[in-house]
Structure 1
Amino acid sequence: MATSTGAKIFSVLCTLAQVPLALRTLGTEGYGLWITLVGLTTLFNFVDFGLGIGMQRTMAEAFGRDDHAHIRRTFFSGAAALSVLGVLTLAVGLPLALLLPWGDTLRITDAALLPQAGRALAIALIAWALALPFNAVSRLAAAVQRGWLHAGWIAAGSALAIATTAWAAHAGWGFLAFLAAATLVPAVQGLGLALHLWSNLRWPWHGAALLPRADLRALLGDSALFTPTQLGLALTQAAPPLALTLAAGPAAAAAFNLLQRLFSPPTQAQTILFTPLWPALAEAHTRGDSPWVRRAAIRAALATASLGLAALVVTAFAPTLIAAWVGRAALPPPATFAWLACLWTILQMALLALVYFLVALGRLHAVALHATLGCALGFAGLFLAAPSGTHNALLAGCCGLILGLPGLIHAARRAWPTTP
């Protein structure tokens, strides 16, 4: 827990330090496009279409039986499936990235940046495909109770990201090189974790046979239930910069990202709180300790509300904080834009808190239905309203998320443990 918390705090600090360097080197529009593509690559590296959750459960059960042979077979089967997914994505995505007029689509006005848009998108796709199989490594680390190793490599990846950004800024790298350096960090981080984990587990360095067809079908079937929710949650985080870029160009995405970075301390604090909490809730629910579940859930709700209040305070002082942080490299976003971005963040935090609670209590179908609905409505609102301006896009997106909350709240009330 302490290692994970320290790694997340270090990552937040590295992220905050990275912004002024990139902003001053690339300019507002270049930074907006850069952060949109980096954000998409980073977030979609965590989207494994539910396969990771199914893998982790299967490997954790095998670890409990001390069946390392089955762990290895599950790991290699999952990694192979993710590799195939990456190759298929490249086969479809690269021609589209290189042939379509993305500079015009993304409303880029910088004459030097305009012809590089397609190649930039291709670089982001390649980086995502390279990093995708390493999702299996992080799931393996969790399943065999080596979370401290994963946390250490998260910190190492953050350090590598700030180091490459600083060097690229110092050396005056162009936009495409700057983008490649940033988007390849997850793949390097995943490779480092894989080598370290292999050595720690004392596994042989050769591969293992894949799972039998029946076991693989069962694994994919378990994973399918989590796919819509996982994809929806990732899209709600990745979608705003892209939607805002389509609405008003990369400069709007840059403004939103500055606010996102300011909100990262409360959002990361929620992640630190809930990551160990939901397994504890699940365990207490399994043994029938309803009073503990109720107390923990109430405290988690109060903590989420407090972190939402912290986001409101950050928004109130956003102009001062941004000026002190990046100086004249960027202008503070308009007040209405900032408050809408804050509302989007708070709604995401509320959605995540309800999802964690319902997953812990085994209400997976409710999560799959209502969380996916909210994320889909938020995503649709952002993009459908984007042509009418940035404020309308954020407002419509927030309304979509709000429409998904009643179903989750109702499911949480039905799942609320009562005293026997």
Structure 2
Amino acid sequence: MDKQIEVGAQRLDESPDGIIEEGSTEARNRAAGRRRRIARSAVASALAKVTSVGTALISVPLTLNYLGPERFGMWMTMSSLVAFLSFADFGLGNGLLSAVAAANGRDDRAAIKKLVSSAYFVLSLIAVAILCMLAVTYSLVPWYRLFNVQSDLARSEVAPSVATLICCFAAAVPLGVVQRTQLGLQQGYMASLWQCGSSILGLGCVLFAIRQEAPLPILILAYVGGPLVVSVANGLFFFGVLEGDIAPSYRSVTRAALRAIGSTGLLFLTLQLVAAATYMSDSIIIAQILGASAVTGYAVPEKLFSLIGSVLAMGVGPLWAAHGEAIARGDREWALRTLKLSMSIAAAAAAIAALILVPTAPWLLKLWVGHAVSAPLFLLLGLGLWKVLEAAGLALAMFLNGARIVGFQVAVAVATALMAVTLKIVFVHEIGIAGSVWATIVSYAALTLLPCYVFRKRILMVVK
């Protein structure tokens, strides 16, 4: 059993030898089942996204008016801190997702239990380590200086607010096992529906805290703690009622399972860090070269175009687990056919959205932020083209993730990052803010999409 679990990031040759014939009834039934699960997950993900955005639109003006600019800014800065801490699971969540999808393709429930148990054990240790680091640094760090707050009220609230936020984050690290397991089993629709409840409960708790005139630490606890309650309920229902045979158990923790998750997880962590350096460096580079005020002219239009990627991610995201399960079962023709279809549909949808947004963006920006931002046409064209390339790349990434071809992704991502950051510095100097997105386009096309096309036969050999 442990031998079956211990599958390397690129060792798909250890999948079951029996390949299902493409035209068989069994293959058709499984393909239809995958399509249904993908559709349910996409719809549920869209509902969760709408709920999340809706609750944010309601909560932001309420909390801004309640807290005031300084304390609200402190809260937003802390939210950015949580985004940075999202790397704290060392990629184990993504490693678990891929490993569960592969084990599900082998119908190996015992292996899934070992994977879930091992991931929960390690992530719980990471959560404890985070809390220990907080305990050591809490009284040593001048938090009010770190957040640059001036008022006495803000200074008195900043340290307990940070402690509250980090404690809630630490608790959320092992609870993420539930969602990753659901995604790996192609039950992402369940995770999304629970997320809807999480957003609604979080908003309700915030409204109650504001009505009680609670201090900022309590407001943070209401905003973050409410969703934690939902995550706990999701775990109890999923592992206690629906999938009791794979519920985490200390006795099921194995070294083989830890290696299976960790080997892929570390690659995913590297991939996430490199991608962050590539695609989140725009504002930093623009600020350093053109000044902080120039960042607004880039960041606001970019947020408008980012809606394209957010929407497409809802439909493409469920393909990760579907590809992993299909390849493990031997339904390889389905995976290849779905790859080509998903890339075509994603790129076409992004192109249509970009063709609509590019000419209407000036009007939409004026409607949204007034005359504060005026985006040049060259920037808008670049953002539109980038979203088309990004959409095709996202569909390709879901296939590569499902096939556990992560090492190749890391290699091209590192090369892309080095070229992108270098070109951004040069292009922003020469072109202005539009140079940042055009540098991304050139680098991504040359060192990510082109290598995938050149080495496509070798990549496809993994699943043939």
Q: Which band: TM-score by shorter chain?
A: 0.7 to 0.9
Alignment match, 1:369: 411
Larger-Rg structure: 2
Aligned residue pair count: 404
CA distance in 2, matches of 1:252, 1:97: 36
CA RMSD of aligned residues (A): 4.7
Alignment match, 1:173: 214
Q: Which moved more, 1:137-146 or 1:278-287?
A: 278-287
User: Quick check: 1:266 aligned with 2:308?
Assistant: yes
Determine which of 258, 261, 266 is the counterpart of 1:224: 266
Residue type at the aligned position of 1:138: Q
Residue-by-residue CA offset, 1:221-262 (whole Å, 9 max, x unaligned)? 23222111134456778889999999xxxx999999988876
Residue-by-residue CA offset, 1:364-385 (whole Å, 9 max, x unaligned)? 3332133356568889999x9x
Residue-by-residue CA offset, 1:310-356 (whole Å, 9 max, x unaligned)? 66545642353357xxxxxxxx854469x989978985885464254
Determine which of 347, 350, 353 is the counterpart of 1:301: 347
Q: Which moved more, 1:186-195 or 1:340-349?
A: 340-349
Residue-by-residue CA offset, 1:187-240 (whole Å, 9 max, x unaligned)? 223212101202112449783414332442233123222111134456778889
Alignment match, 1:413: 453
Q: Which moved more, 1:75-84 or 1:104-113?
A: 104-113
Alignment match, 1:360: 399
* SS of match in other structure, 2:186: coil
Alignment match, 2:160: 119
8 Å CA contact 1:153, 1:189 repeated in 2: yes
Residue-by-residue CA offset, 1:389-417 (whole Å, 9 max, x unaligned)? xxx9x889758755752311222332557
Determine which of 178, 182, 186 is the counterpart of 1:137: 178
* Offset of residue 160 of structure 1: 1.3
Alignment match, 1:19: 60
The within-5 A match list for 1:15-164 is: 15-41=56-82, 44-45=85-86, 48-164=89-205
8 Å CA contact 1:74, 1:211 repeated in 2: yes
Evaluate the alpha carbon distance shift between residue 60 and residue 30 of structure 1 in structure 2; reply closer, same or farther with a 3 A threshold: same
Alignment match, 2:365: 318
8 Å CA contact 2:347, 2:388 repeated in 1: no
8 Å CA contact 1:7, 1:155 repeated in 2: yes
* SS of match in other structure, 2:90: coil
CA distance in 2, matches of 1:204, 1:215: 14
* Offset of residue 131 of structure 1: 0.3
CA distance in 2, matches of 1:94, 1:352: 43
Evaluate the alpha carbon distance shift between residue 233 and residue 31 of structure 1 in structure 2; reply closer, same or farther with a 3 A threshold: farther
Alignment match, 1:209: 251
CA distance in 1, matches of 2:242, 2:283: 39
8 Å CA contact 1:259, 1:318 repeated in 2: yes
Give the TM-score normalised by the residue count of structure 1.
0.75
CA distance in 1, matches of 2:221, 2:421: 27
Unaligned runs of 5+ in 1: 324-331, 385-391
8 Å CA contact 1:36, 1:241 repeated in 2: no
* Offset of residue 100 of structure 1: 2.2
Unaligned runs of 5+ in 2: 1-39, 426-431
8 Å CA contact 1:7, 1:151 repeated in 2: yes
CA distance in 1, matches of 2:223, 2:178: 20
8 Å CA contact 2:168, 2:224 repeated in 1: yes
Residue type at the aligned position of 1:409: L
8 Å CA contact 1:79, 1:136 repeated in 2: yes
* Offset of residue 25 of structure 1: 1.5
Residue type at the aligned position of 1:31: F
8 Å CA contact 1:41, 1:183 repeated in 2: no
Alignment match, 1:275: 317
Q: Which moved more, 1:130-139 or 1:272-281?
A: 272-281
8 Å CA contact 1:340, 1:395 repeated in 2: yes
Alignment match, 2:31: none
CA distance in 2, matches of 1:17, 1:252: 29
Evaluate the alpha carbon distance shift between residue 167 and residue 243 of structure 1 in structure 2; reply closer, same or farther with a 3 A threshold: farther
CA distance in 2, matches of 1:164, 1:267: 30
Residue type at the aligned position of 2:255: R
CA distance in 1, matches of 2:221, 2:385: 32
Alignment match, 1:328: none
8 Å CA contact 1:106, 1:245 repeated in 2: no
Q: Which moved more, 1:74-83 or 1:404-413?
A: 404-413
8 Å CA contact 2:117, 2:249 repeated in 1: yes
Among the aligned pairs, what percent are the same residue? 21
Residue type at the aligned position of 2:332: T
Evaluate the alpha carbon distance shift between residue 399 and residue 144 of structure 1 in structure 2; reply closer, same or farther with a 3 A threshold: same
Residue type at the aligned position of 2:198: G
* SS of match in other structure, 2:153: coil
Q: Which moved more, 1:372-381 or 1:155-164?
A: 372-381
8 Å CA contact 1:304, 1:349 repeated in 2: yes
Alignment match, 2:332: 286
Evaluate the alpha carbon distance shift between residue 94 and residue 345 of structure 1 in structure 2; reply closer, same or farther with a 3 A threshold: farther
User: Quick check: 1:7 aligned with 2:51?
Assistant: no
Residue type at the aligned position of 1:354: G
CA distance in 2, matches of 1:83, 1:30: 32
